[in-house]
Structure 1
Amino acid sequence: MLKLISAYMIMAVSFLSYGQQTKGNQSTAVETKIIAVVNKANWCSVCKANGERFQNNIMPYTTKGVAIVINDMTDKNTIEQSKENLKKSSLYKQIYKTNRKGVGRMLQSCGLVDGKNKSMVTGIVTFIDAKTLKVVNETSIAATDAEIKTIIDNLLKA
């Protein structure tokens, strides 16, 4: 229960900080360069196995220009709430309309069967350029610590 509460707190803070930064608020200390949208669900085995480790890897980057947005796909209610938040943040199209390539293993890992909408894949993070709102990378949260750090470091350098 405590993990669920902290996950929702992080989601709320992420949306608030991203919203402030995209409205030209000059009082924010760090300019958002990359938005990391994390597709997660309480029933996802990949999320359960890797969520805390992934969070520990990505949280230090929030002070370096990475905003974290949680797309909670646990049930119909959380999906609808997340979709509304993504629409308000102008990120909906990037998450729900983008044709995802190479997600077959992630679909199988999460127990999703063929024919499911690929935008409903959990256990992945989509990195979006904060200025152009274009998807610049996508990876599984099951990627190794080194892979995750390399991806984020390279995106921040670009």
Structure 2
Amino acid sequence: MKNVISSVLMLLIVVTSTANAKKVIVKEKEAKVIVMVNTASWCPACQGNGARVEKEVLSSYMKNPKVTIVVNDLSNEETKKVSKASCDKAGITTVAQTNVGTGMIYFIDAKTKKVLSQISVTKTTEEINAAFKNVIEKA
């Protein structure tokens, strides 16, 4: 009986994991642009502008099916490890390793994984929104 329960639980885990993996793949296939936001707790530009950019820009694109947003937190080794997992999942590990400027937003083609453009979080809300719109329209 114990073996039967263990087998059923294992099967349930595999089925659930497969279903979740399919959802992620579908989302990434729909997305045209991956937005990587490099931040760090010690970054003055991030401290001064992060909350504004999150509230006034990023929040309005969170549900846009053409956009996948990945936060790449470079504060310390622990946050880097968590961020690496997110970058791996989005397929942008190489881009994240070569674009390490904090306080930056990188717009990445979801298909080719090439950086399309970038903008600093110190720019105005209007400039950052314009950068988002420009990249999404071209994608």
Aligned residue type for 2:108:
I
Match of 1:74 in 2: 75
Q: Distance in 2 between matches of 1:131 and 1:76?
A: 29
Relative to structure 1, the CA distance from residue 58 to residue 81 in structure 2 (aligned partners, 3 Å threshold; closer, same or farther) is closer
Q: Distance in 1 between matches of 2:39 and 2:115?
A: 18
CA-CA distance at 1:132 after TM superposition = 2.1
Larger helix proportion of the pair? 2
CA-CA distance at 1:38 after TM superposition = 0.6
Match of 2:116 in 1: 136
Q: Which structure 2 residue ranges, 5 or more long, are not aligned?
A: 1-19
Matched-pair identity in %: 32
Aligned residue type for 1:81:
V
Relative to structure 1, the CA distance from residue 20 to residue 135 in structure 2 (aligned partners, 3 Å threshold; closer, same or farther) is farther
Report the aligned-residue RMSD: 2.4
Give CA-to-partner distance per residue, 1:52-100, whole Å, 9 cap, x none.
Answer: 1111212212233222111111111111221233123210111213xxx
Q: Distance in 2 between matches of 1:133 and 1:20?
A: 20
Task: Indicate the SS of the match to 2:38.
Answer: strand
Query: Which stretch has the larger CA shift, 41-50 or 81-90?
Result: 81-90
Aligned residue type for 1:128:
I
Residues 95 and 126, structure 1, Cα contact 8 Å, conserved in 2: no
Match of 2:89 in 1: 88
TM-score (norm 1): 0.65
Alignment of 1:2-151 (within 5 A): 20-21=23-24, 23-24=25-26, 31-55=30-54, 56-64=56-64, 65-97=66-98, 119-151=99-131
TM-score (norm 2): 0.73
Relative to structure 1, the CA distance from residue 131 to residue 150 in structure 2 (aligned partners, 3 Å threshold; closer, same or farther) is same
Residues 38 and 103, structure 2, Cα contact 8 Å, conserved in 1: yes
Count of aligned residue pairs for this structure pair: 116
Relative to structure 1, the CA distance from residue 128 to residue 20 in structure 2 (aligned partners, 3 Å threshold; closer, same or farther) is farther
Larger Rg: 2
CA-CA distance at 1:144 after TM superposition = 0.9
Residues 38 and 123, structure 1, Cα contact 8 Å, conserved in 2: yes
Q: Which structure 1 residue ranges, 5 or more long, are not aligned?
A: 1-16, 98-118
Match of 1:116 in 2: none
